[in-house]
Amino acid sequence: MDTAKDRFILFCSILDFGKGSKALRLSKELGALGGTIFLGRGTIRNELLKMLGAVDIRREIFIAMIEESKEDEFYENMLKKFHLDKPHHGIAFSLPIKYCEKIDEDKYISNPEKEGVKKVGYDAIFIIVNKGYIDDVLDAAEAAGSTGGTVIHGRGAGAYEKAKLFNIEIEPEKDILLILSKKEKTEAIINSVRDKLKIEEQGKGIIFVLDVSRTVGLYEGD
């Protein structure tokens, strides 16, 4: 598996409400492994609106996974489409993905450092599944020693999911589970979730891990 060495990055972008779907469509065209959108609220810069009493404005947070080799092209296109270089048009950043389970081709990509670095630390595990399966994921993660997790409600679609309704693409609802786990438990949690959900099947979900450099407030249970 040569492609296993191809590293992935997590592209994150905060856009005006309504642009998330466009970003998702574009990133699929550019070869991303699908993407997920969730809603957030952002600050308002407009002084007049602030004075009138507007408190916040709806934003969409868009995340997508893409191969590192495609990153430059990806940014170029996103920039062109959403004018991210201009002020108040949204922001984007990317994070390196440490470990990624690429579900659609029934294999996973593991970065070489994963084996080498064994010092005590934490991983941020992201598990994205279709709505309705999140309780199973929580159970599976707990069984494997996870001490907690946070669920974010969103929508999104994998690269192979295509359903249209009156020419509008349907982006099914997803739940995103974020778990901060001790590095030695990460593998067990991922395996447990994978077995429970048969996540290697196409369209079941995706798991990836980001490196965490520092944490605070985590309860170290026995």
Binding site for other proteins (CB under 8 A): 20-21, 37-39, 52-55, 58, 60, 135, 153-155, 161-166, 168, 170-174, 203
Rounded Cα distance, 112 and 103, in Å? 19
Task: In angstroms, give the least distance from the CB of 205 to other proteins.
Answer: 12
Task: In angstroms, give the least distance from the CB of 95 to other proteins.
Answer: 21
- Pick the closer one to other proteins by CB: 29 or 56: 56
- Pick the closer one to other proteins by CB: 98 or 155: 155
Task: In angstroms, give the least distance from the CB of 171 to other proteins.
Answer: 6
Alpha carbon distance, N-terminus to C-terminus of the chain: 39
Burial class (CB in 10 A: 0-12, 13-18, 19+), 71: middle
Q: Give DSSP secondary structure letters for 34-46.
A: -EEEEEEEE----
Alpha-carbon Rg for the chain, nearest whole angstrom, is 18
Please give the backbone phi and psi of residue 190, each rounded to the nearest 5 degrees, phi first: -60, -45
- Pick the closer one to other proteins by CB: 49 or 95: 49
Q: 16 with 56: CB under 8 angstroms?
A: no
- Pick the closer one to other proteins by CB: 52 or 216: 52
Task: In angstroms, give the least distance from the CB of 174 to other proteins.
Answer: 8
- Pick the closer one to other proteins by CB: 175 or 211: 175
What are the C-alpha distances in Å from 75 to residues 32, 86, 91?
12, 14, 11
- Which has the closest alpha carbon to 207: 92, 36, 76? 36
- Pick the closer one to other proteins by CB: 61 or 84: 61
Task: In angstroms, give the least distance from the CB of 38 to other proteins.
Answer: 6
How many other C-beta atoms can be found within 10 angstroms of the C-beta atom of residue 220? 6
Task: In angstroms, give the least distance from the CB of 25 to other proteins.
Answer: 13
